[in-house]
Structures are given as C-alpha cells and as structure tokens.
Amino acid sequence: MGYHPMVLSQFSIYLEDIGMCHFLVILLIAASNLNIEAGRTDWSEEKNPSFWNEQARLDIEYNLRRTENKRTAKNVIFFLGDGMGISTVTAGRIRKGQMLGQLGEDFITEMEQFSHLGLAKTYCTDHQTSDSAATATALLCGVKAALGTIGLDGRALRGNCLSSHGHHASSIFKWAQQLGYHIGIVVTSRVSHASPASGYAHSPERNWEGYDSINFGAKEVAEGCVDIAQQLVRRSPPIDLVLGGGRRFFYPTQTPDIANSSLRGTRTDNVSLIDDIWKGRFIWNKTDLHKIELGSSEPILGLFHYDQMRFEADRIQDPKEEPSLSEMATFAVKHLLQKSQDKNGFFLFVEGSRIDHGHHNTQPRYALDDYVEFDNTIGQIKHILQDKGVLDDTLLVVTSDHSNVFSFGAGSARGSNIFGFGTLDNGNVSSIDKMPVNIITYGNGPNFASNRNKTYLDSLDFNQTGYRAPAALPLADASHAGEDVAVFAHGPWSHLFIGVMEQSTIAHKMAYAACWGDYKKRKGCA
C-alpha cells in the first residue's frame, strides 16, 4: 500500500463537494500518524482541477504544521539501497504500485513518507563516479576516500597494504559501541562485501574479502593486513548481530558448504573462521533464526547463503531456508530493542544490496523487485517502532551509495507496464527502424546492440527475471552512474538532512542526532 506523509495530524479538513476528495477526507480522519492511501487504479478523477487543488491544499497544510524533532535519538536505523538512484526510486514506485493492481505513477512508497529529503554528492577523492567501497566509507566513517578502499581515509592507496597503516577511519559502529550502544548489520550481499565491511573493516582493497591466495594471501599478511572476513570475526567488541550471505569466505577449501556439499569454502589458509575464531552463535538458515531468543546476550552471525543471497524475485519462488531482507531486518529490530530496553539504544545498518546487482546485469525485474522488498522492509520496521512506542525516538535515514546507468521513459502511457514498450503510437515507434521503443534502457551494459527485428521483439517476455533491457554502449557489466542520490530522513534531527550535501556528512549528522563520536558533548546531550 502507498501512503502520503502530508496528512500528519490533518484532522481539521472541511468536507467539500469535490468527488474523490470525499474519500481522501475519510482516510485523513482515520489515518494514523503517517499513513493514508494514495494509489489509484484509474486517472479519471484527475481530469477535474479540483482534485489537484485539494492535493495542493493538503500538501501546504502538512508543511505548515511540520515541526522539528530535537530529541536525542535513542536508536538510529540506516537504510542503504545499493545502486538506488533517483530513477530507480521512481521506477520502483511504479513497479510497487503496479504489483498492487494500481497505475503506479501516483503511488507513494514507504521511504517517500519520511519528513525530510535531500540530495547527496557521491563522488570520491579520485573518481567522478564512485563505487560502493568509497561511498560506504563516506557514509559510515564520515570521510571521503579512494575508489575501492574500505574504512580508510583518502591517504590510502587502493591495493597497497603498506599505505593503509596509520590511515584507518573510525566508523559510526565504533562511535556507538564506545558509548554502550548495540549495533547490527543486515544485508542481502555477502557480509564481507564493500558496503557492510566499511563499517567494521579497514582494507585498501575491497576484493580482499577472504584469504583465497588470489586476491589476498601471504604477501598481504606479511605486510600487516588482514582479510575482511577475518576482521569481522576478530572484532572486539563484536558486532551484536550480523545477518547476510557469503559463507565461502569463512571456511577453508577442504570444508563442504553446510547447505550444499558440492560447494566448498574458498580460504586457502586452512582456517575456519566460524569454528576456530568466532566466539558467538552461528546460524545458517531461517529455522535457526527464529529459534533465537530475542535480546539474548551472545553475538549472532547468520550466513544464509554460500555467496550473495538470492534476488528476491527468485527467493520468493522457492524460499527454502533463506530469509528475506524484511524477515532478517524485522528480527534484528525486535532483537536489538529487547537488548536495549533497560539501557542505551542501538545502531542498525540495513542494506538492499542486490538492487545494484540487477542493474549491473541490465535485468530490471531483479533490480526493481529488490527495491520493492527494500521499501517493504522500511515500512515493516516503521510499524514495529510505532507499536513499541519508540518511533519518535528513532532516527531513520534512507539513501543510496551511488546510482546506476538505468533510465526509463519512451513517452509511455499512464499505467504502462514499467518493463515493457512505450505506447505503440507514432511518438513511441522509432522513426529509424519503425520498431517499438523500450521504456527501460541502460546507458551501457551487456545487452549492447540488442536485436531490433520484429521476431525478436515479439518474443520478449518483459516480466521474466532473465529479461535484459537494451544498453547503448558495450560493457560486460553496466556501470555505476555519477549523479546525486536522494536522502530521506525521519525522526530526531531529520531536518539536518535537507538540501544538497556531501555524502560524508551523513555519518556526522546521524552521530549528532544520537550524541555519538565527536558530538557526544554537544549542547543538548545528557
């Protein structure tokens, strides 16, 4: 369901004879705090100017009643949609609405209900268009750094172990733990992947995820570096809760994977990080996840896939023992709330990791369905916080690390299948080859020079996960894009997240709201 934020406390609405607005008014009165139905199945009521006049009036009233929440944030939940550029947010909005039988364009997602909105610049110190390692370092450590580096400042050189010594950047994970707050990570990538690793590891190369003697081996160890997976299990104090994929970097080559004996670990140092080093509880399936007592004291490491977790569109067809992002994240929130009930709160990092991977493959169904699951997760967490009475004490921030070269358009008619062709009229048929025009395209990628004959175009099933949208330039994987990304914020000090900002300021603003790190003694902190 889609809801609009402009109806907060809108109880003084005058009933007017304006057709569809009677329905809106009823919902306004019944709505709780943040919620009102917004999706439409047809656009006939939009022909009447009074419809748009009322929409504008409600928007103005909401903004006039907006207040600033200056409480100290007890909890901070940071949602990262990897590769979730503004075009993905818009197309994801349409996809989510259409999955519910609506037109889609007017749908309002969970993140769009947040009270404040800004834009973040995603460049890094040495690249105009960045990657997840450098951008996540900016987001979690508050400093911009070089492409491919994790948890280091800009003086470190990519792939150079010696250059990393003395240039570690502390993260918001550390700032929170130093003051007794609990911390958690929930991702659908490998837990040693660039985004989550930037919060707990220090590595001049994002590909040093494990000791595999290919990317990382004896040379790097001799120079004083430690692979990322090992940094995670050796971290002291440990992270309270880590859920995601990537078992292969935690087990040696002679150990069969616990869920698929045809696969083996990739560590060549003969070390099992789980059996030999990890001191907490280890789980690998959904059944074990739900057996855990909420608030239990021992740290939890859950690795639910040998590699990256599956795309949501595949997982939902055959879930087996692999939990969804929303299942992992809602468990994490309940668990951390229980652990924090008698003391300080928590910081939780939640990433919809595979939005980016769908875009790299030029497979929009994978990317947008993972976006929908990411947005659903935000909504479910928000309702948990409401039910527990802690929503107003929790800062929620949603953003992306970078965009991708994903675009949509083609003059498509209202309600057109977002994965399909533009309306087959003169404006959406190519004047060059007289063939229909795809709504979704990529600036570059593996489906370069896609076939344009009628037989091929007629054979396309746009709704299949394997469908690849056409790309303008040839690359093995579609690249990232360099434009700014949206920042949505709600809760204590969310008004700090407005305007155009450097991506590196986001960690500082979250810390300011919670009185962590350099801001623990700012005015207003206990």
Q: Tell me the binding residues for Zn(2+).
A: 82, 356, 360, 401-402, 480
**CA angle at residue 286 from 398 to 95, to 5 degrees?**
40
Non-local (6+) Cβ contacts of 46 within 8 A are 40, 52
The torsion of the CA quartet 519, 523, 525, 526, rounded to 10 degrees, works out to: 130
Contact 191, 252 (CB under 8 A): no
Q: Which residues pair with 481 in a beta bridge?
A: 403
d(CA 326, CA 316): 12
* Alpha helix positions (H), 171-222: 172-178, 194-200, 218-222
| Residue 132 among the catalytic residues | yes
CA distances to 155, 214, 230 from 221, rounded to whole Å, are 20, 13, 12
Three-class DSSP category at 148: coil
Active-site entry in 132, 407, 416, 504: 132
Three-class DSSP category at 393: helix
Q: Is the peptide bond before 319 cis (omega within 30 degrees of 0)?
A: no
Query: Would you put residue 361 in left (φ > 0), alpha (ψ -120 to 50) or beta?
Result: alpha
Non-local (6+) Cβ contacts of 281 within 8 A are 292, 296, 298, 299, 300, 301
In the numeric block, which tokens belong to residue 445?
A: 């990628």
Q: Which positions make up the binding site for Mg(2+)?
A: 82, 193, 195, 351
Q: Which residues pair with 436 in a beta bridge?
A: 429
Contact 158, 149 (CB under 8 A): yes
Q: The tokens 């990232």 sit on which residue? A: 480
CA distances to 20, 40, 97, 416, 451 from 44, rounded to whole Å, are 10, 10, 17, 16, 38
Phi and psi (nearest 5°) for 486?
Answer: -75, 150
d(CA 217, CA 225): 10
- Please count the CA atoms within 13 angstroms of the CA of 175 that sit on its side-chain side: 26
d(CA 155, CA 398): 29
Q: Which positions make up the binding site?
A: 82, 193, 195, 351, 356, 360, 401-402, 480
Order of strands, sheet of 300-303, starting from the edge strand that comes earlier in the sequence: 281-283, 300-303, 241-245, 182-190, 346-352, 75-81, 394-399, 485-490, 116-121, 499-502
> Nearest to residue 480, comparing CAs of 151, 200, 87?
87
Three-class DSSP category at 518: helix
d(CA 459, CA 382): 42
Q: Which amino acid does the sequence have at 313?
A: A
The secondary structure of 477-508 as a DSSP string is SPPEE-S-EEEEEESTTGGGS-EEEETTHHHH
Catalytic residues: 132
